[in-house]
Amino acid sequence: MLLLIVNALCVAAAFNTHTKPATYILRKPSTSTTLYANPNPNPTIVTVPLSGSRSYDITISPSLASSSSTNSLPSLIKSSAVLVVTSDKIAPFHLKNFLAHLTESLPSSTTFHTCILPDGEQHKDLPTLNKILDAALQLKLDRKTTFVALGGGVIGDMVGFAASIFLRGVNFIQVPTTVMAMVDSSVGGKTGVNHAVGKNLIGAFYQPEGVFVWLDLLDTLPDRELCSGLSEIVKYGLIRDKELFHWLESGNVEKLVNRDKTVFAEAVTRSCRNKAEVVAADEKEAGVRATLNLGHTYGHAIENGSGYGTFLHGEAVSIGTIMAAVHSYKEGWISEELLKRIVGLLERCRLPVCLPKESEMTFEKFKELMQGDKKVSNGVLSLILLKGGGEVGQCVFTSDYSETMCDETIRFFVENKGKGWIFSEVNLKQRQFKF
């Protein structure tokens, strides 16, 4: 089998250069047994039901090496050429094994090409996207080619977008390697890149042929990246799945932080079912799918305003979720007790709940960036806010909120940088601050 490698390692220019991007080192996998090794290789299947013949499966398995789902991925590849796109952080750990498993099941005439991109949100841009297209064009790939995204949310979003526009559309498959991608970004067909004006403003809805989740790929994921992805699991509990929120609160969030294989399998499966149900009901975000963006309007402003890559996506979403919760509390839509529970759970995920002391975010920067959000229509910004009194699982996507309350929320977070303790139970009860 022929394997051609196209390295796209040139560093693309970041949109924001005033802050230093986050750096992290992948963990070394265990030399004995993998963290998620499981004697039962049978996968869990979650179907994303779409109109026509566009439905596809999310296949969740404990291990790439032992899983029978490995054989189902090649069945989706109908071409003699495959372009596997990954990042320079993922490739040394997973690319060789992944290609080896594919070559065992595909015809010997299949040609594999790989494109390796620089890692990180700061490279989720048009210049880096062009590296995928340049590779595909230089290789003279045709419309029957299959693109495979092996990586986290950045890789998945860019490969999906490249697949949607290369020769006006080719098939692609998602193989997520981060918690964030496994529970959220790899499912649902949102693809795209960032722009200086805002996050994910250039892209398309383009569904994959399938999503393959192998939990042992998390073995090398850094602790910071793993915790970042937990914010999206918490989100599902807040907006629609109160049983999931209670399950996390009951001690399972600590098990996730500590990489418990059984608990992780349950959390990923439950999250994928939530995402699949929402996508099936509203594929192109005309209504209910927008609720999946809880905390994202505030969070995207933080990501962009701080310089793409300074915060991991889930870290910014965590702060944004607390901002949305405070805003909801100020509107009188959730209780003080629920606000405290939300803050507490995200802190237990080892995620930030306020802006750091050194943050360059200002009130004016928040307002400017939020007005560039995709949820602005006719000049009016709609937000996803919680509305369940003292219980989770209910939210609204609305423009019918108090602009004053929104502004007060932003000012509160800007004025209290580095003061995560301000949400402590003592301060809440004694009201030592004013929202």
Catalytic residues, by residue number, are 168, 190, 232, 275, 285, 289, 293, 296, 300, 313
- Residue 419 has a CB neighbour count (10 Å cut-off) of 15
Structure tokens at 339: 């606000």
- Contact residues for 141 (Cβ-Cβ < 8 A; gap 6+): 81, 83, 113, 166, 170
Contact 351, 318 (CB under 8 A): yes
